[in-house]
Structure 1
């Protein structure tokens, strides 16, 4: 494989695009001090107050450790609170504080600027195509993801966009030895 081959691989280009996307977002949101992950958590919680950490992680396709780390940082800044859930005493519900709501409001303009900056090299048609291709890619390979994605959309919205949910596929469980076992995804 040549370097040109490497640099044209989808994985390389997607990773590089993600790096650029994060940098564009962080530059635009420097005045409010938010990362893309923090903005995602605040946005989800603004729409689903009192969500438990497991559902929050799935709504953003984060693993549990990542969502706990992001929540801890936001909690230390006074942007969110974790409370015992009303539905289950074993779960923690996460809610925005007044300061968190204010920060999210302040971040909306810079976040939109970042979105527009990221897509600025593309024509409107290319923007639409890019989103369609990325949705097709992520939906088609969702079973290979390390963290599940469970969008918090009304059922009819998800069905309209993606069609009915496919049956779980058999997939190899990853182990630290490189050996895998096949199991049904739930």
Structure 2
């Protein structure tokens, strides 16, 4: 079967292609910025959430970040081994764990925040300023609104 190539749009004009390329650029800058701290994006997110919401339940943070339970446990194990965060048994429910930064973790997050600011400043400059950053965030929020699949996907659970 022969495909009529005039019906295919130019690859550089396809939205998903542009979004993926932008994601790669942002992740490459993130990786370069945080390599000296040996920090991956998921670890960054977990530390940022713990810093913002100390004492939050492990399950709440995992769900908020969209991280599966098994993966989250491994992330927390790694952060605990590094002395950056700790799990504490719940006061009322000893089966649940609340998450906290250690003293070392608090210092680490302060340095992490400075590097994040530099990373964000580079991206904002590339976008042409804060106004464009705000516009991009608003557009991405529109795209993500509802977070439901845009097309029928047989592998995705259907809402009823």
Q: TM-score range by the shorter chain?
A: 0.7 to 0.9
Answer yes or no: is 1:102 the counterpart of 2:103. no
Give the strand-richer structure, 1 or 2: 1
Out of 60, 68, 93, which is 1:63 matched to?
68
Partner Cα separation in structure 1 for residue 156 and residue 28 of structure 2: 36
Partner Cα separation in structure 2 for residue 13 and residue 142 of structure 1: 19
Distance 1:112 1:180, change over 3 A: closer
Partner Cα separation in structure 1 for residue 111 and residue 157 of structure 2: 47
Q: Aligned to 1:111, what secondary structure does the other structure show?
A: helix
Q: Aligned to 1:142, what secondary structure does the other structure show?
A: coil
TM-score (norm 2): 0.79
Give the helix-richer structure, 1 or 2: 2
Answer yes or no: is 1:143 the counterpart of 2:148. yes
Aligned-pair Cα RMSD in Å: 2.7
Asked which structure has the greater CA Rg, the reply is 2
Partner Cα separation in structure 2 for residue 35 and residue 49 of structure 1: 20
Partner of 1:121: 126
Kept in 2: contact 1:25–1:115 (CA 8 A): no
Partner Cα separation in structure 1 for residue 155 and residue 39 of structure 2: 39
Gaps of 5+ in 1: 146-171
Which structure would you say has the larger RCO, counting Cα contacts within 8 Å and 6 or more residues apart?
Answer: 1
Distance 1:87 1:180, change over 3 A: same
Partner of 2:42: 37
**1:7-56 Cα deviation digits (max 9, x unpaired):** 43322322222222122112122222222221221111112112222110
